[in-house]
Structure 1
Amino acid sequence: MEGILELLPGYNCGKCGYNQCRDLAENMRKAEDIGLCPFMGKQQFSENRKKLKELLKDRSDGTNIIGVIDGLEADFTLAPLTGEPSCREDIHPIDGTELKAGDLVRYRPLGCPITHFAKVIKTSRGMNTIHMVGPLQRLGNEDVEFLDAGICLIFAFDGKVEKGRIPRVGETVKFIPTHCMMQKVHSGIIVGVEERNVRIEAIDLKVW
């Protein structure tokens, strides 16, 4: 990390989204991350840019996070918050199905071919926060009844960055939820960061 830090401008201006250059250096993983610093594009840092690209090649060896189903590269994997069984998701049934806390639901996220099973942990104004309990498992009981919520919009994820760099607020990111059966890359916008815990909104499964 020190080698990367020495090649950054050292202005600690915060324009990259981090408090200081040291924080940016700790989270740089690939050549594209150089563009986070608005000063690195200037001529006076051209040699530093070249050296940074070489350093980041070494840093990214063996750490690339690639989606299984789509082959796209993600910024990080998203694991459950401490003590929770899966990432939290905020969902809304397109057909207006009303859910309540404690409901076990069967649904399919818009843009995903896999049927999901979940437990509702809270509801508010049509938004339902859930924990995944499927698609493969049925709470260990094939006789469990699930409410059919049909196709649902996925609005947000709450979880912990497990592997990869910690993003900054306002950044559009690509990520893979660790519980995703297809290990597909999702995208969204970071609206909250607290240590490694993040909230991602504007979720999109159509990632190019």
Structure 2
Amino acid sequence: MMRLWLGMFFLAMITAFPAFAEEYTYAPEGCDFIMTFPEEPRATQRCHDKVSDKCTLMTSFTKVYDMDAAINIYVSCKPTETDLRGQFTPDARRTSLLARPGVDTLEVYDVTHSENEKAVMSALLGAGPTPSGKDVMVYVTQLWVSKSSVFTMEAELIGHDISEADKLFSDILGSLHHKDLKPENPNEKSEETEAEPDTQPEAKKE
């Protein structure tokens, strides 16, 4: 049941089209990617769970639901001087995602890869205990590489199953896209668009 639920959740996440009443667009200078949050996130030091002095400055968003559930999302986008898409093959991206701190303690359910003319992307979906062991969480990490930047994202959905939290989680993750491409809204396809073959490559599963 957990595997089925996660599969359905992952599908909903990648097809989500966010609609926040008050939103903040994460689009740092030199970054080819855009992500939308319901409010302004903050800068934070994210440290390795086993190497305390190994920390990375990231942008984070947290939402807590009466101690029953919580959302944590961490993002980072770094400009590059050269096009690294050729170096970040699907195998290299998969290795990078599996090496993220704490992934070795989770059950990994899915790793997908996709690409278009602007970027290559890989995503990992897993679930398991939080570092404290007090709760369980759904964990998603993604790696996006374009001609001139590398975007990394880690997202945690912790605690009880709350529909409001599930929706916000999928809305935020579904907002991530290359700045030259719009996130697809499945509710706004014209008849002409539906008649045309899909020009976007399908995600490849491992």
TM-score by length of 2: 0.22
Larger Rg: 1
| Larger RCO, structures 1/2 (Cα 8 Å, 6+ apart) | 2
Q: Which has the higher helix share?
A: 2
